Structure 1
Amino acid sequence: MNKWVVILGAGLLLSLSACTEKKVATPEELWHGYCTSIGNAARTITLDRQNGITREEATAYAEKVTDVTTNTFLMGQIEKVYSFPADQLKVDKDALQAKFKQEATDLCLKTPYDPNKMPDYKAF
């Protein structure tokens, strides 16, 4: 009987520890997550251009984003990707997508931000 009490008690403690609240992310962690999302968006913009999405379509979609910080990053990325020579877009598609993704992430991470005013965004 005592054996079962100990096993049940251990099981209860284990299940309760799984229910504890997650650690609240620091502003730096939130910004890093945001910048990762910006990099993913840059990759998607590159992929869209490689697949024939026009600049006008990309811009119209990005204009729907109401967060100023996110919109600024997206518009800058659209400008960069659509200024890239079209004939070079198909040379190594995956490498080019990774390049634009990394550059956008790095640019975002270097950008100063206000920890009290984080961008409102949905992960890409």
Structure 2
Amino acid sequence: MKKVLLIAIGLVLVGCAEKKPLTPEEQWHGYCVSVGNAARSITLDRQNGIEQKQAIEHAGKIEDETTRKFIFEIIEHVYALPVDQIKADPEAIRDQLKQKYTEQCVATPHDKLPSYKSF
């Protein structure tokens, strides 16, 4: 019984340990994962019949210029794809575009982390 209690206390203490701050590279990677998630969401919206005009209108509310640039590029690309390609294997195309835009973002030179909300 004492052994179980000690293990439980040890796990609690480990869980309470302070997390180390993220490096700028880790922060940028997290941002890029969010951009990839946005690509996946935009693709899902298109698959569900959301019009490009609505997507552009919504994206126009984004205040951060870097994020807005990525999102408008994604919208342009996703809505240029043929509908049959978007709907042939919906999950696969969403995952493919998420991966593409995450990688593209990671490879993009940057000076600072944009101000953004996770997607």
Q: Identify whether the pair has TM-score above 0.5, normalized to the shorter chain.
A: yes
Which consecutive residues of structure 2, in runs of 5 or more, have no partner in the other structure? none
CA 1:20–1:104 in structure 2 vs 1: closer, same or farther (change >3 Å)? same
Distance 1:53 1:24 in 2: 39
Paired residue for 1:81, among 67, 78, 81?
A: 78
Matched with 1:50 is 47
Deviations 1:92-117 (A, max 9, x none): 00011011111101110110011xx2
Paired residue for 2:116, among 93, 101, 121?
A: 121
Deviations 1:18-38 (A, max 9, x none): 444210000000000000000
How many residue pairs were aligned?
114
Task: Tell which structure's C-alpha radius of gyration is larger.
Answer: 1
Moved over 2 A (4+): 13-21
Give the SS at the match of 2:55: helix
> By how many angstroms is 1:89 displaced?
1.5
Indicate whether 1:25 and 2:22 are aligned: yes
Paired residue for 1:101, among 98, 101, 108?
A: 98
Q: Which letter maps to 1:72?
A: K
> By how many angstroms is 1:72 displaced?
0.4
TM superposition score normalised by structure 1: 0.83
CA 1:17–1:102 in structure 2 vs 1: closer, same or farther (change >3 Å)? closer
Give the SS at the match of 2:87: coil
Indicate whether 1:91 and 2:80 are aligned: no
Distance 1:100 1:20 in 2: 37
Aligned-residue identity in percent: 53
